[in-house]
Chain A
Amino acid sequence: MSHETHEHGCGCGCHGENMNPYEDLVPILEHYAGVPGSLITVLQKAQEIYGFLSTDLMRYIAIETDISIAKVYGVATFYTQFRFEPIGKYLVMLCQGTACHVNGSERVEEVVMETLNIQEGETTKDGLFTLNNVACLGCCSLSPVMMVNDTTYGQLTPDKVKNILAEIKEKNLSQEATT
């Protein structure tokens, strides 16, 4: 185990003694240490915990799994699921499948970009929404479809999309007010 590559000064008062910023990943790394071919699974779990794969995180995984950093980066960038930038609180995934395309997903995309004032792959300034285009979500008969975090919305129209985004914003505001 070599943690010497990590810099301290996190400001949490831990004084940096043997502090591992990726402590939550340790049990996962231990669990998969003996299972060959687990790199993708480890990257998936890491992304689940930290939201995205930072260069530091990938370097840490490379060291701990004894896989070269080049390979970790190569594998991570091959698959569309992996992200290298932090994402907003709500991840808007717009389906780009054939059925959605035929039923007007392009118009839906325009409205989302207009309403949130971001482009594909970007996050809103308030950190609330990230927009990602995804390959088919498999809900083709409800096309056009989008998913926001774990909720799927079907049969979208420009107006419906505006309402959904506004509702999420409102819900978030009231949540913040109560906490």
Chain B
Amino acid sequence: MKIVIGKGSCGIAAGANIIQSAFVENLSLKGLDIPIDTTGCIGACYLEPIVDVFDDKGQKVTFVNVTTDNVKDIVEQHILEKQALKELQMTEADMTMIGKQTRIVLKNSGIIDPERIDDYLAVDGYVAAKKCLTELTPEEIIETVKIAGLRGRGGAGFPTWFKWNAAFRSPGTVKYMVCNADEGDPGAFMDRSVLESDPHALIEGMLIAAKAIGANEGVVYVRAEYPLAIIRLQLAIDQAREHGYLGENIFDTGFDFDLRIKAGAGAFVCGEETALIASLEGERGMPRLKPPFPAQKGYWNKPTNINNVETFANVPWIFRNGGEAYAAIGTRDSKGTKVFALTGKIAHGGLVEIPMGLKLRDVIFEIGGGIKNNKEFKAVQMGGPSGGCVPASLLDTEIDYAGITKTGAIMGSGGMVVMDETTCMVDMARFFLDFTCKESCGKCTYCRVGTKRMLEILTRITKGEGASGDIDLLEELCNKIKEGAMCGLGQTAPNPILTTIKYFRNEYEDHINNKKCTAKSCKALLTYTISEENCVGCGVCKKKCPAKAIEGKKKKVHEINQALCIKCGKCFANCKFDAVCVD
């Protein structure tokens, strides 16, 4: 018998450590000696903390949203008295979320203990690496990845074999293998989850890639905001070294490869290859013009290959099961699976891995359980600050690189932020421009000044100061910046604006012409009034109003002085009688 607690960052944030202490305490109270193991994230973040209890036959029962009170029940009623405790278990709807997925990258996440290499070895870990190092030539490795049709999962979707081949063909004896784990896209966290839940899959993928291009040194560039990922990856690297999977003469083949971690220092632009290399070299993370590409001149001007975490994590599976097996999953244009981070106004938020070609509708409504609180779906934002908002009319779009690009969004790293009727699309565009404006490195004028100007216009519109002609001006700026900016950050920064104008032009027009925000999200455009019918004159709003804008005698209908109102919404939030109306 054993107890397994999911301890990814999400699980810990939801209280997994407190639950673990509660188990230790309750078990010792009952004099039970049952081991408590750690695992990573199963992806069903909305169910955290998650606890698996395995009986002596290895049968698993999963308890979800576990509280410290539940722990006592689980120990006393489930473990001791063998009661099922169905009400605390995962429901069928929850099973759907996990069951409808195809798991390659997340295969071991939430199942094995990421801190124990033996757990990884028990699920055929390092078998693929051994095969590649002992049996295959670099050409054969690259050919297999080509057959698999794997494309970069970091954003642009460039064919992985092509990059490997270019680095392999580049002359030179010193080459580098770099993993981009600088997952900066707000709303995406699959790379963090892989690092925390299955770090050896990344190491094995990098080892295979290193053999393919002939690199003896590797670096994983991890965001500093991911402390747990750094700890677990370092532990995994140390263990792999002890077992001889990293270091000198791996599998007695004479091939050397070692790996180290470099913690990023917080700069979104470092997701761009050449900026990442500059940062690795200790410089300001500013991109440079390509060519030369990193495959020719990368880290310290040597041939360098860069892929992201999810891309590498696909590689061991491909070599265990064959390139053809991988290519059998997905669509003609996009092979294999993709991990998405489902967040926002979604009922079942978390990480999901689906075969390419599934419809957006299936992911959001079947796997994701639809919209929270019975609200109406408005749009799904894909691709983060470089992506766009896909409206309800395009929910039947098939998820693959070409399909998503056609909508104006991009696949990106896999963020899917779901929005409902209360999300204002102009504000959403403003939010992303605020982000890209802050993160622009400042090297090229189009991006540095352009994002700033676009942000100013959007801010004006959300403040009710929009002027006619603003939409045209925005579109003109967008198109110029797309053409003129030097790197991907600037070139894609207009996407959130272009897609929201394309699909939600009416919201822009409402803001500009009618000074109205239909989502009731842009504060400056709201008017608060008190309904004569509902107001009982309790005076709470008057007391809470920081602007002293509310007048009224006790037990008489109160009134808001619009000239003084600062639209903070405190009266609305504090009225117990639904008497404050917002329009």
CB distance from A160 to the nearest CB of B (A): 13
CB distance from A3 to the nearest CB of B (A): 24
Evaluate contact between B265 and A40: CB separation under 8 angstroms.
yes
| Chain B residues in the interface with A (C-beta under 8 A) | 9-10, 12-14, 45-46, 48, 183-189, 192, 223-227, 262-268, 279-286, 300, 341-345, 349-350, 381, 384, 415, 417, 419, 423, 428, 431-432, 435, 439, 441, 573
Query: A131 contacts the other chain (Cβ, under 8 Å)?
Result: no
CB contacts (< 8 Å) of A135 on chain B: these are 184, 186, 225, 266, 268, 435, 439
Chain A's interface size range is 35 or more
Given A78-B267, A99-B344, A140-B189, residue A153 in contact with residue B282 (CB < 8 A): no
Other than A37-B280, A98-B343, give 11 A-B pairs with Cβ distance below 8 A: A37-B282, A37-B300, A41-B262, A78-B286, A99-B349, A135-B266, A136-B186, A141-B45, A141-B342, A143-B344, A152-B12
CB contacts (< 8 Å) of A82 on chain B: these are 265
Evaluate contact between B281 and A37: CB separation under 8 angstroms.
yes
CB distance from B37 to the nearest CB of A (A): 22
25 contacts between A and B (CB under 8 A): A36-B282, A36-B300, A40-B282, A43-B265, A79-B265, A82-B265, A96-B186, A96-B435, A98-B186, A98-B381, A98-B431, A99-B343, A99-B417, A102-B344, A102-B419, A135-B439, A136-B185, A138-B189, A139-B45, A140-B189, A141-B45, A141-B341, A141-B350, A142-B13, A143-B344
Chain A minimum-CB-distance residue to B267: A79
CB distance from B345 to the nearest CB of A (A): 6
Evaluate contact between B227 and A150: CB separation under 8 angstroms.
yes
Query: A75 contacts the other chain (Cβ, under 8 Å)?
Result: yes
Given A138-B226, A150-B227, residue A78 in contact with residue B285 (CB < 8 A): yes
CB distance from B466 to the nearest CB of A (A): 20
| Chain A residues in the interface with B (C-beta under 8 A) | 36-41, 43-44, 74-75, 78-82, 96-99, 101-103, 134-143, 145, 150, 152-154, 158
Evaluate contact between B13 and A75: CB separation under 8 angstroms.
no
Given A137-B225, A139-B189, residue A78 in contact with residue B345 (CB < 8 A): no
Chain A minimum-CB-distance residue to B419: A102
Evaluate contact between B266 and A101: CB separation under 8 angstroms.
no
Given A75-B284, A81-B224, residue A138 in contact with residue B9 (CB < 8 A): yes
* Complex-state Cα separation, A37 to B222, whole angstroms: 16
CB contacts (< 8 Å) of B428 on chain A: these are 102
* CB < 8 Å neighbour of A78 from B284, B349, B417: B284
Chain A minimum-CB-distance residue to B225: A137
CB distance from A177 to the nearest CB of B (A): 25
Chain B minimum-CB-distance residue to A114: B546
Given A41-B262, A80-B266, A98-B415, residue A142 in contact with residue B14 (CB < 8 A): yes
* Complex-state Cα separation, A75 to B417, whole angstroms: 33
